[in-house]
Copies of this chain bind each other. A is one copy, B any other.
Amino acid sequence: MEFTKENGALAVEVLDLMFRATRHIQHEYEMKLESLSLPFQLSGPRLRLLLMVWRAEKIRMNELASKLGVKPRTVTELVDALERDGVLQRTPDPDDRRATLLHLTEDALNQITRVRMVQMQISDEILQNFTAEERTRLHALLSKFFEGMEFDFVY
């Protein structure tokens, strides 16, 4: 599609709307997460990290950083907080003594099903105005942002 002022104006409107919608949704999402009275506090970024560790079972801080799309220093920060809250643990990597492996604590593993279920309920509630077909179409459209992207682009 060739660039014209009209195309540009439409593009700005689409992205603007997307940013606004996401802001709005994230507000709601975080408020609902906070009101859960889990044994640990989960913000958006913390939940994202938590679920990534959970899916991997165990993972290096290194790899986690690149999957999250943040710098290793940021992972150190987040992990410090989550370890303090008893959500996950560091263990030395037996294969490389420079590296650190992360895994969830027993406690977090026991809570994870509930967390996932609540996540589904929150998400479903936020999408209450959308039919199943609309959800699928939105998913398909959003996927286009990642089209033609090298390797497994995670975050």
Interface residues of A (CB under 8 A from B): 1, 3, 5, 7-15, 17-27, 29, 44, 69, 117, 119-121, 123-124, 126-132, 134-139, 141-148, 153-155
A123 to B1, CA, bound (A): 13
Task: Check if A69 sits within 8 Å of B142, measured CB to CB.
Answer: no
A58 to B147, CA, bound (A): 42
The 10 closest A-B pairs by CB, nearest first: A8-B120, A11-B123, A11-B124, A21-B145, A22-B22, A12-B123, A17-B142, A129-B144, A138-B141, A11-B127
Task: Check if A134 sits within 8 Å of B144, measured CB to CB.
Answer: yes
Residues of B within 8 A of A135 (CB): 10-11, 14
- Extra inter-chain contacts (12) besides given A13-B139, A17-B142, CB under 8 Å: A1-B128, A1-B132, A8-B121, A10-B135, A11-B126, A11-B127, A17-B143, A18-B142, A20-B154, A23-B69, A130-B144, A137-B141
Residues of B within 8 A of A44 (CB): 19
With contacts A10-B135, A17-B142 taken as known, whether A27 is within 8 angstroms of B69 at the C-beta atoms is yes
